[in-house]
A and B are shown apart, each in its own frame.
Chain A
Amino acid sequence: MSSDVPLLSMRGITKRFAAVEALVGVDLDVHAHEVVALVGDNGAGKSTLAKMVSGVLAPDAGFIEIAGEQVTIPTPTAARGLGIATVFQDLALCENLDVTSNLFLGRELRLGASRDDSRMEQIARQVLRDLNSRIPSVRSPLSSLSAGQRQSVAIARTLIGSPRIVVLDEPTAALSVAQTAEVLVHIERLRDLGLGVILISHNMTDVRAVSDRIVVLRHGRNNGTFDAAAVSHETVLAAITGATSAELTPRSLPPLSPLLR
């Protein structure tokens, strides 16, 4: 399932916002061909950690290695240069532009002084086909697409420029059941393509459906890493909430997900 040297390795990551300790000494490994779910309650530091991988925030302490080499990731552009692609929680897409333009935003292909629109459109179609995405046309403006289709575009975007690591921050939060299923299929496609995927989600059903490993954060600290195939709901929930699994009966669970049985 995973190779020896992790694609991404974070060690002792610490981040403070004024007096608040968002992350304290957090470790995270992601291998190729692996979906790592990053779970935790609100404010556990999941998004903060993801933002460091995507170059939006810089850690105060700790280091990041990509394929065994220590790196700094000062900007989103630098992250992309290192082969890290991110789907942000608040969909970073432009509604007035069409699908192709959004896929290539910030890394347009050039042909002399102008853009190479034909080639970008060809690649856009290829990428959407790779994902088995159901977008009517790569020339549709984003404003005409459904929430699920937009999420498909956001995920397809990560494939432009052949990344090694994809970070997905709550990709299914605003989606219907059918749309969620489609996005989960996309995530599996990313793994099949050999990428390392970091999936941040509140939804334990989604997490268990696609992830290989589950990393739990609680109050900005590591609170357990589990094999997704072997671990029980209760164990993960206990790690998230800080309760011992014996205390948790299904009825007393916090309403983490309506899909939870």
Chain B
Amino acid sequence: MTTDTNLAPAAPPGSKPRVPLSQRMQGLGGNARQYGIFGALVVIVLLFQVLTDGKLLLANNVAALFQQNAYVMILAIGMVMVIVAGHIDLSVGSVVAFVGGIVAVTMRDFDMPWVVAILIGLAVGGVVGAWQGFWVAYVGIPAFIVTLAGMLVFRGLALVIVGETVAGLPSQFIAISKGSLPNFLGFASNMDVVTLLIGALAIVAIVVSQLRARSSLRKHELYVEPLGAFVAKLALIAIGIGILTVILSFSAGGTPIVLVIVGVLVVAYTFLMGRTVFGRHIYAIGGNRLAAGLSGVNTRRVDFWIFVNMGVLAGAAAIVTTARAGAAIAAAGQNFELDAIAACFIGGAAVTGGIGRISGAIVGALIMGVLNMGLSIMSVDPSWQMAIKGLVLLLAVAFDLINKRRAGTQ
């Protein structure tokens, strides 16, 4: 395979020489569709950058964008897994209020260290998820019903725990959402060096992992995407991260701590969904539950763990939300489930299950976040903001559907 590298993919010996482009695009797991969502995000960012006279991409606004939307991204990661498996979770908003209450009470009334409170919060989230997963997976009640019940149950329990606002939380805890990484490396012409370093490391990590994946495919004589497309993709990723890094390094705090949390979760869950057997089984169950079961996939166990995972992530979102508010309130997390579900569908998840990606859900959350922030900067009335977001959700899914139909009739 040491031929001219400018050639289109070298066909492995013995295989069919050329595969039609359409099929190759499909073979990439719908990457073309993914690029479409990224494109939409870029367009929306540029649109609001113009509409807000350049205020949208001011350093502090970009940092705030992540701090304000971290909870959606965390929930959307769990929600996309639930949706891919063909379920839905309507309870996450209530679970956020419930767990947030427990975390705050643990710190204030029981004087536990904030680290312990966080661990308790995640564990309680997991128990809540196990409760719902039990009813869905082992009793066979549709997730819509189980989590609708959960929505009421956990909102009620949140009201019981948080009779009145629980405030006065430790500053280290609040820093999770409001703080940034310490800039102990100083500044280089007003740019936070820590942020620059993280950005550079992220770029290097992505490039190295992509190169390794590519060389492994080559070693096994499998199909690799054309070198030009590969380089262009890497260049775009590097430029995107580079721009984000430079903007953030000018912000008041540098890198928001929640951005690091979200980043780690995205990497971990992209691996889980894309590269592990468990992830493959989630897609299989969403595609054809019966077939997956007949093939030896333990569908109940997979369903159960999907909900446990959703519960733990709801716990994480509760911690972030409570830290951001600086207090626990019983009304916290209202409509969070809808934000997360919308992010998944904007990001290309299919209502019928089987299709959806972590990266799509994150981009979906960012699109909603940018809309929020852009419209707020333009001081659009919140009522209209809500209406506009609703329309964007509808149009995004409609556009997707029409595209698929057109592809189907060809």
| Alpha-carbon distance A96/B217, docked complex (angstroms) | 22
Contact present for B14 and A129 (CB under 8 Å) = yes
Residue of B nearest to A126 (CB): B14
| Alpha-carbon distance A141/B31, docked complex (angstroms) | 13
Contact present for B280 and A108 (CB under 8 Å) = yes
Cβ contacts under 8 Å, A238 to chain B: none
| Selected contact of B295 from candidates A105, A117, A121, A141, CB within 8 Å | A105
CB distance from B60 to the nearest CB of A (A): 39
Contact present for B284 and A101 (CB under 8 Å) = yes
CB distance from B86 to the nearest CB of A (A): 11
Given A76-B296, A140-B26, verify A115-B288 contact (CB < 8 Å). no
Cβ contacts under 8 Å, B406 to chain A: none
Contact present for B27 and A94 (CB under 8 Å) = no
Number of interface residues of B (CB under 8 A): 37
Cβ contacts under 8 Å, B230 to chain A: none
Cβ contacts under 8 Å, A9 to chain B: none
Contact present for B276 and A115 (CB under 8 Å) = yes
Cβ contacts under 8 Å, A118 to chain B: 216-217, 219-220, 222
Contact string, A184-228, partner B, CB cutoff 8 A, digits 1/0?
000000000000000000000000000000000000000000000
- The stretch from A41-49, A65-73, A85-93 touching chain B is A85-93
Q: Tell whether A31 is near chain B: CB-to-CB under 8 Å.
A: no
Cβ contacts under 8 Å, A106 to chain B: 292, 295-297
**How many residue-residue contacts, CB under 8 A, span A and B?**
102
Residue of A nearest to B290 (CB): A92
Residue of B nearest to A145 (CB): B23
Contact present for B276 and A76 (CB under 8 Å) = no
Contact string, A46-80, partner B, CB cutoff 8 A, digits 1/0?
00000000001000000000000000000111001
Residue of A nearest to B221 (CB): A122
Q: Tell whether A258 is near chain B: CB-to-CB under 8 Å.
A: no
Q: Tell whether A136 is near chain B: CB-to-CB under 8 Å.
A: yes
Given A56-B294, A76-B296, A122-B220, verify A144-B26 contact (CB < 8 Å). yes
| Alpha-carbon distance A189/B280, docked complex (angstroms) | 30
Given A108-B277, A118-B216, verify A94-B223 contact (CB < 8 Å). no
| Alpha-carbon distance A121/B224, docked complex (angstroms) | 13
| Alpha-carbon distance A117/B24, docked complex (angstroms) | 17
| Alpha-carbon distance A160/B217, docked complex (angstroms) | 21
| Alpha-carbon distance A75/B298, docked complex (angstroms) | 11
- Chain B, 287-345, CB within 8 A of any chain A CB: 287-288, 290-292, 294-297
Q: Tell whether B354 is near chain A: CB-to-CB under 8 Å.
A: yes
Number of interface residues of A (CB under 8 A): 38
Q: Tell whether B405 is near chain A: CB-to-CB under 8 Å.
A: no
Contact present for A105 and B297 (CB under 8 Å) = yes
- Chain B, 255-273, CB within 8 A of any chain A CB: 271
Cβ contacts under 8 Å, A75 to chain B: 296
Contact present for B294 and A76 (CB under 8 Å) = yes
Contact present for A92 and B295 (CB under 8 Å) = yes
Given A115-B276, A118-B222, verify A97-B283 contact (CB < 8 Å). yes
| Alpha-carbon distance A246/B269, docked complex (angstroms) | 69
Contact present for A114 and B280 (CB under 8 Å) = no
Contact present for A97 and B284 (CB under 8 Å) = yes
Q: Tell whether A107 is near chain B: CB-to-CB under 8 Å.
A: yes
CB distance from B354 to the nearest CB of A (A): 4
Residues of B within 8 A of A (CB): 14-16, 19-20, 23-24, 26-29, 216-217, 219-223, 271, 275-277, 280, 283-284, 286-288, 290-292, 294-297, 354-355
Q: List 10 A-B contacts (CB under 8 A).
A: A56-B294, A92-B288, A94-B287, A96-B354, A97-B284, A107-B296, A114-B275, A115-B276, A115-B277, A137-B223
